[in-house]
Amino acid sequence: MTESLHLTVAEVVRETADAHTLVFDAALPFAPGQFLTLRLPDGTARCYSLCCGPGERLMVTVKRVTGGHASNWICDNVAAGSVLEALPPSGVFTPRSPDGDFLLLAGGSGITPVLSILKTALARGRGRIVLVYANRDEESVIFAAALRELAAAHPDRLTVVHWLESVQGLPAAPRLASLLRPYQAYEAFVCGPGGFMDACCEALAGLGAARPKVERFVSLGGDPFAAPEPVEGAGGTLEAELDGSVTSHAWPEGTPLLDVLLAGGVEAPYSCREGACSACACRVVEGEVKMLANEVLDEADLSDGWVLACQAIPLTDHVRITYSEDPAAG
Ligand SMILES: Cc1cc2nc3c(=O)[nH]c(=O)nc-3n(C[C@H](O)[C@H](O)[C@H](O)COP(=O)(O)OP(=O)(O)OC[C@H]3O[C@@H](n4cnc5c(N)ncnc54)[C@H](O)[C@@H]3O)c2cc1C
C-alpha cells in the first residue's frame, strides 16, 4: 500500500477572496499536472493539483466551493505550521514531454494543474504556449500577477488570453472555436468546470483537432488511505512491473487489478478508487482487461494501453501490466 506522507505547511497565500495556496515545506518528485490527495483530520480525502513548477516547493491552491466540506475547512483552518497527511503526487494529466507547443485551457480553479504544465514547459521546453483562462470576473482570477510576470518574461513563447464572463459572457463553443483555430495543432489540456470543459472539447472537435487531455475536479467518495481488503478465489495470473521490479500474482475473476496488487504487498499508486482521478493508471502490455468505470482516460489513452487499475478486471487468463511511462518498457 502507498505510504502516506506528512507535509508541513510553510505558508498560506491568499490568492483571491476564496482561493488559498498551501506552500509545503517539502520538495518531492512530481510530473507537471499531477495532484496530491490530502486527508482532513475527520478522515475526508480530497485531491488538489500541484500548481508549482520545477525547483519550486510543493504547492496546491484550494478554492472554496459553496457548501463544500473540505475546501472550506482547509481555507478556514490550515495555516503555517499545520501538518497534513497526503498521498504522493499522482495522475496522468501531464504532457509526455515539456518540449511541445501547448494550448492550455483553464476555467477558475482549473488553472492549478495547467499552471504547473505552463511553468514546466517554459523552464524545460522550447515550444509556444497559449493559455486561455476563463473566470467569472477580474477579482476571481487566481495567479493574475504570476501570469503577467511569466508573459512579460517570455513574450515570444507565452500568450495569455483572459476570458471574463462579466465582460465576454460564457465561453461557448462557437466563440471558443474562432479563438482556438490558429492553435488547433497544439497539444491541448483542459481543466475547469464541467460546462467549460465540454465547450472546449466541442470547439476543438469542431476544428478537427486531436482530443485534449482533460482533468475533472470531482470529490472523492471513498477513503484512499484505507487498508486493502484481502483477495481470494480462482482465476488467472497477473505480472506487474513497477519501478523496475516485476511481481506475479493470482488474479481472481472480477477482482480489480489494484486490489490484487495491494493485497500482494505492491506499493501501487492510487487515490479515488472509483475511476475518477487517474492516480492508478497503468498500461496493459499483454492480455486484456475491461474497466468497470472510467471518467478520465480518453480514446488516445485507451489505444495506448492505459487503464485504471482500480477499475480493471481480467478478460484473459494472463495479463501483464506496467506502470512505466515508457512505451518500450514492460
Ligand atoms: C484530480 C483532481 C484535482 C483537483 N484539484 C483541485 C485544485 O487544484 N483546487 C481545487 O480547489 N479543487 C481541486 N479539486 C477538487 C477537490 O478535490 C474537491 O472536489 C473540491 O475542493 C470540493 O470539495 P469539498 O469537500 O469542499 O466539497 P464537497 O463537500 O465535496 O461538495 C461539493 C459540492 O457538492 C455539494 N454537496 C455536497 N454534499 C451534497 C449532498 N449530499 N447533496 C447535494 N449536494 C451536495 C456541495 O454543496 C458542493 O457544492 C480536484 C479534484 C480532482 C479529482
In short, whether 230's Cβ falls inside 6 Å of ligand 1 is no
CA dist 114 and 293 (Å) reads 25
Question: Atom 19 in ligand 1: which residue has the minimum CA distance?
Answer: 219
In short, whether 50's Cβ falls inside 6 Å of ligand 1 is no
Question: Atom 32 in ligand 1: which residue has the minimum CA distance?
Answer: 68
Q: How confident is the model over 311-321, as a mean pLDDT? A: 95
19 φ, ψ (degrees, to nearest 5): -135, 125
C-alpha cell recorded at residue 128: 509556444
Pocket test for ligand 1, best of 12, 93, 217 (most atoms within 8 A of CB): 217
Q: What is the pLDDT of residue 330?
A: 41
Q: Which residues contact 197 (CB under 8 A, 6 or more apart)?
A: 107, 110, 190, 191, 214, 216
Spell out the CATH class of 5-90: mainly beta
Architecture per CATH, 235-322: Roll (3.10)
CATH topology of domain 102-215: Rossmann fold (3.40.50)
Spatial contact of 309 and 270, defined as CB atoms under 8 Å apart: yes
Q: What element of type H or E holds 187?
A: strand 187-191
**Domain residue limits, the chain:** 5-90, 102-215, 235-322
Q: What element of type H or E holds 303?
A: helix 299-303
In short, whether 20's Cβ falls inside 6 Å of ligand 1 is no
- Any bridge partners for residue 307, and if so which? 282
Q: How confident is the model over 255-269, as a mean pLDDT? A: 91
In short, whether 277's Cβ falls inside 6 Å of ligand 1 is yes
The beta-carbon contacts of 296-300 under 8 Å, at least 24 apart in sequence, are: 296/92, 296/214, 296/215, 296/216, 297/92, 298/211, 298/213, 298/214, 299/211, 300/210, 300/211
Q: What is the pLDDT of residue 309?
A: 96
Q: How confident is the model over 101-105, as a mean pLDDT? A: 98
* Torsion sign across C-alpha atoms 299, 302, 307, 313: positive
Q: What is the pLDDT of residue 1?
A: 53
Question: Atom 38 in ligand 1: which residue has the minimum CA distance?
Answer: 68
Q: Which of 94-98, 137-141, 269-273 has the highest mean pLDDT?
A: 137-141
Q: Which residues contact 92 (CB under 8 A, 6 or more apart)?
A: 213, 278, 281, 296, 297, 301, 306
Q: How confident is the model at residue 329 (pLDDT cuts 50, 70, 90)?
A: very low
In short, whether 94's Cβ falls inside 6 Å of ligand 1 is no
What would the pLDDT profile of 5-62 be if each residue is shown by its tens digit?
A: 999 999 999 999 999 999 999 889 999 999 999 999 999 999 999 999 999 999 999 9
Residue 82: pLDDT over 80: yes
**Distance between Cα 292 and ligand 1 center (Å):** 23
In short, whether 219's Cβ falls inside 6 Å of ligand 1 is yes
C-alpha cell recorded at residue 81: 505550521
In short, whether 111's Cβ falls inside 6 Å of ligand 1 is no
* Torsion sign across C-alpha atoms 109, 112, 113, 114: positive
Helix, strand, coil percentages for the chain (3-state, nearest 5): 25, 30, 45
In short, whether 22's Cβ falls inside 6 Å of ligand 1 is no
Q: What element of type H or E holds 45?
A: strand 45-49
CA dist 72 and 18 (Å) reads 9
CA dist 141 and 118 (Å) reads 16
Q: How confident is the model at residue 222 (pLDDT cuts 50, 70, 90)?
A: confident
Counting beta carbons within 10 angstroms of the beta carbon of residue 299, is it exposed (0 to 12), middle (13 to 18) or buried (19 or more)? exposed
What would the pLDDT profile of 133-173 be if each residue is shown by its tens digit?
A: 999 999 999 999 999 999 999 999 999 999 999 999 999 99
Q: What is the pLDDT of residue 225?
A: 85
Question: Atom 34 in ligand 1: which residue has the minimum CA distance?
Answer: 68
Listing from the earlier edge strand, what are the strands of the sheet with 245-252?
245-252, 235-242, 318-322, 281-286, 306-308
In short, whether 21's Cβ falls inside 6 Å of ligand 1 is no
In short, whether 311's Cβ falls inside 6 Å of ligand 1 is no
